C-alpha cells in the first residue's frame, strides 16, 4: 500500500480519539531505563508521547518520531505546555523512507506494528547502527492483542524476541542481546478497561 495510505490511516487512528492529556510511559521502558545514565534517546513510533515525556523528565534529550502528523503535533503541544522544549524534539518521519539521523545512547521501538509495508528488520538494523558504544536498542512487540487494539486479526502470529534478533542479523562481536523474553502484564485501555497481555521484549547493547 502507498505511503499516503499509511499516513492517512495513522492520522485517522489518532484523530479518532481524544488527545492524551497525560500519556504514560510503557512499563518495559521504565523498568529498563530507570538505572541508566541519561543521554540522547530516539523514540521510534512515539504515538501519544508518554515514553518521550518520561525520558525527558529523567534528563534524557529525546527525538520522538512518528508517521502521523496528528500524533507529532499533539506531542509537540504537550512538550511546550510542560516546558520541555529543550529536551524533546517531535518529528514526523516515515521510517519506510528514511531513518532519523544522529547517534543515540538509547533507541526504543514499542509496538512498531503496522498493516502497511515496512521492512522492520531494516529499520531495526539501522537503529542498532545508530547506537553509540554502550547504547541500547529496546524493541517491545505485542505477544498478544489487547481487546481495544486496532488490530484484531485472529490469524496474526507475532515473532518471538529471538526471531526478531535473527532477522536484524547483527554481528555478535559488536552487539550483544541482553534480554529476550515474553513477560505478561495487566494493561489498561480506554475507559479504564484492563486485560492481561504478553509483551515480546528484546534488548540489544552495542559493545563496540
CATH at 192: 3.40.50.150
Task: Supply the pLDDT for residue 154.
Answer: 63
Q: With 60 as the cut, is the pLDDT of residue 147 above it?
A: no
Task: Supply the pLDDT for residue 163.
Answer: 95
When pLDDT is cut at 50, 70 and 90, the band that residue 187 belongs to is: confident
Dihedral sign from CA coordinates of 135, 27, 44, 54: negative
Q: Which residues contact 50 (CB under 8 A, 6 or more apart)?
A: 20, 23, 24, 25, 26
Contact 200, 160 (CB under 8 A): yes
Mean pLDDT of 124-138: 98
Distance separating the N- and C-terminal Cα atoms of the chain: 38
Of the candidates 105, 78, 82, 67, the residue with the CA atom closest to the CA atom of residue 19: 78
Task: Supply the pLDDT for residue 153.
Answer: 63
Task: Supply the pLDDT for residue 151.
Answer: 63
Higher pLDDT, 89 or 196: 89
As given in the structure block, the three cell numbers for residue 179 are: 534480554
Higher pLDDT, 14 or 197: 14
Q: pTM (2 decimals)?
A: 0.91
Task: Supply the pLDDT for residue 1.
Answer: 44
At 174 the three-state DSSP class reads coil
Burial per residue of 146-162, b for 16 or more beta-carbon CB atoms within 10 angstroms, e otherwise: beebeeeeeeeebebbe
As given in the structure block, the three cell numbers for residue 29 are: 521502558
Write the pLDDT tens digit of every residue in 11-60.
Answer: 999 999 899 999 999 999 999 999 999 999 999 999 999 999 999 999 99
Task: Supply the pLDDT for residue 188.
Answer: 74
Task: Supply the pLDDT for residue 148.
Answer: 55
At 121 the three-state DSSP class reads helix
Contact 68, 75 (CB under 8 A): no
Q: Provide the domain count of the chain.
A: 1
Cα(189)–Cα(186) distance, integer angstroms: 10
Task: Supply the pLDDT for residue 70.
Answer: 97
Residue 114, domain extent: 3-206
Mean pLDDT of the chain: 91
Chain centroid to Cα 95, Å, comes to: 12
Amino acid at each position: 500500500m502507498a505511503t499516503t495510505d499509511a499516513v492517512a490511516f495513522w492520522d485517522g487512528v489518532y484523530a479518532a480519539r481524544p488527545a492524551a492529556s497525560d500519556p504514560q510511559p510503557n512499563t518495559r521502558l521504565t523498568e529498563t531505563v530507570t538505572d541508566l545514565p541519561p543521554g540522547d534517546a530516539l523514540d521510534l513510533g512515539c504515538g501519544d508521547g508518554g515514553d518521550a515525556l518520561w525520558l525527558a523528565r529523567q534528563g534524557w534529550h529525546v527525538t520522538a518520531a512518528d508517521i502521523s502528523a496528528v500524533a507529532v503535533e499533539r506531542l509537540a503541544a504537550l512538550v511546550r505546555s510542560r516546558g520541555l522544549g529543550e529536551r524533546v524534539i517531535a518529528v514526523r518521519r516515515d521510517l519506510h523512507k528514511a531513518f532519523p539521523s544522529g547517534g543515540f545512547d538509547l533507541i526504543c521501538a514499542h509496538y512498531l506494528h503496522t498493516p502497511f509495508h515496512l521492512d522492520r528488520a531494516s529499520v531495526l538494523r539501522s537503529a542498532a547502527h545508530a547506537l553509540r558504544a554502550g547504547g541500547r536498542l529496546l524493541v517491545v512487540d505485542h505477544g498478544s492483542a489487547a481487546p481495544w487494539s486496532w488490530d484484531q486479526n485472529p490469524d496474526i502470529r507475532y515473532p518471538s524476541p529471538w526471531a526478531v534478533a535473527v532477522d536484524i542479523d547483527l554481528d555478535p562481536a559488536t552487539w550483544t542481546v541482553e534480554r529476550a523474553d515474553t513477560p505478561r502484564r495487566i494493561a489498561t485501555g480506554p475507559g479504564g478497561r484492563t486485560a492481561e497481555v504478553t509483551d515480546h521484549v528484546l534488548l540489544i547493547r552495542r559493545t563496540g
